[in-house]
Amino acid sequence: METKYYNEEELNEAAQALKSGDLVAFPTETVYGLGANALLPDAVKQVFSVKGRPQDNPLIVHVSSFEQVKTYVDNFHPATAKIVENFWPGPLTLIFEIKKGSLPSIVTGGLSTAAFRMPDNKKTLTTIELAGVPLVGPSANTSGKPSPTTAAHVFHDLQGKITGIIDDGATRIGVESTVIDLSDPAADPMILRPGAVTKEQLEAVIGGNVTIDRHLVQSSETPKSPGMKYKHYAPDTQVMMVRPEDWQEAVHWAKEKALRVGVIAGPTIAEAVRFDVAAVYMYFNDSVEAATKGLFAGLRGLDEENLALDLILVETFPEDGLGNAYMNRLKKSANQKYFEK
């Protein structure tokens, strides 16, 4: 099959293709999603096979309004209204207990809950409305690879395997949405995956506590030894994290070992080391926002075979605010590995 690009005038064509069971990738403010009609189990099955994704990993149901969620959910957490008012459309996924049998079990991974998100992208919201059905949308990459932040990334991974791609340029945020569990109306909301919407922002809006999944806290503690179970967002080339104070030494060490090194960092670091390394992917500026936006594109860019790098060194950020989401993804791509003196 030839994968086509849908332009602004062809959104209805994309919507009809989706409705009838085809796979079409769509843009969001976080990363590109691999869309399929969430109500057609066969279409959803194809999403798993095209990505090479394990079938027990449930998908996010993308909607164009909160109203649409009510078709599937009737037991809402008391904080829902405030959260939706403040963060939708936006990079926040909400997990609710669903009405029994209201969504195919291939979508929920057989759970009694499902994840919902209203993405902040006009073309995609229009497409969902025109399709008249919710869309599943895992990140539109081959499973295990960095998520796609441009249509070209999607094309690279999925060309010939999906019907089309709705192109809307580079995504604004660059990492996947914050996922919060609201399935128990009596419990505090719990963050299962950090993203651009932070715990502090949520607490300010709710006026109450938000907890963080224990597994996240543990894996974001001091570096752990390499373990395959953490391998995600991973290019083929080995990735290593470098703390701000360690760059000189890290580059010196790599030079002594005669390694072909690539660097992903903001201008201050990138310019300080550029003549000592083989390749550089520079973030637009030194902020954590720019780093988060550029991380996956940098990992993909420096993983190109023709660069033949032995190692990619990446800038770290403090783990607060958006830095939590950035470091969560970076640690996975680096298999938790830091440069150590």
Q: How far is the CB of 264 from ligand TXA (least distance, A)?
A: 21
In three-state form (DSSP H/G/I as H, E/B as E, the rest C), the secondary structure along 179-234 is EEECCCCCCCCEEEECCCCCHHHHHHHHCCCCEECHHHHHHCCCCCCCCHHHCCCC
Q: Least separation, in Å, of the C-beta of 32 and ligand TXA?
A: 6
Residue 139 binds to ligand TXA (criterion: CB under 6 A)? yes
If one asks whether residue 89 binds ligand TXA (CB under 6 A), the answer comes out as no
Residue 90 as a binder of ligand TXA (CB under 6 A): the answer is: no
CB 294 within 8 A of CB 285: no
Query: Closest approach of Cβ 199 to Mg ion, in Å?
Result: 21
193 binds ligand TXA (CB under 6 A): yes
CB of 271 to Mg ion, least distance (A): 32
The interface region with ligand TXA, picked from 14-22, 109-117, 221-229, 302-310 by CB under 6 A, is: 109-117
Instruction: Tell me which residues in 2-41 interact with ligand TXA (CB under 6 A).
Output: 28, 30-31, 33
Q: Which of 38, 39, 60, 280 binds ligand TXA (CB under 6 A)?
A: 60
Among 153, 139, 169, 138, CA closest to 303: 153
Q: Which residue is nearest to Mg ion (CB)?
A: 139
Note whether 330 and 204 are within 8 A (CB): no
Q: In angstroms, rounded to a whole number, what is the distance separating the alpha carbons of residues 56 and 43?
A: 16
| Cα separation, 44 vs 269, whole angstroms | 43
- Site membership for Mg ion, residue 139 (CB under 5 A): yes
SS3 304: coil
What is the distance between the alpha carbons of residues 163 and 14, in angstroms, rounded to a whole number? Answer: 9
- Distance separating alpha carbons of residues 194 and 279, to the nearest angstrom: 30
**Residue 179 Cβ vs ligand TXA, minimum distance, rounded to whole Å:** 5
Question: Contact at 8 Å (CB) between 94 and 73?
Answer: no
Choose, by CB under 6 A, the member of 179, 206, 277, 309 that binds ligand TXA. Answer: 179
Q: Measured at CB, which residue is nearest to ligand TXA?
A: 33
Chosen from Mg ion, ligand TXA, none, partner binding at 291 (C-beta under 5 to 8 Å by type):
none
Q: Which of helix, strand or coil describes residue 175?
A: coil
Q: Is 33 helix (H, G, I), strand (E, B) or coil?
A: strand
Across 163-191, b (16+ Cβ under 10 Å) vs e yields bbbbbbeebbbbbbbbbbbbbeeeebbbb
Question: What is the smallest separation between the CB atom of 143 and Mg ion, expressed in angstroms?
Answer: 8
Near ligand TXA in 198-257, by CB under 6 A: none
Q: Does 115 bind ligand TXA (CB under 6 A)?
A: yes
- Rounded distance between C-alpha atoms, residue 161 and residue 141, angstroms: 12
Contacting residues toward ligand TXA, per CB under 6 A: 28, 30-31, 33, 57-60, 93, 95, 108, 111, 113-115, 117, 119, 137-139, 176-177, 179, 192-193
Contacting residues toward Mg ion, per CB under 5 A: 139
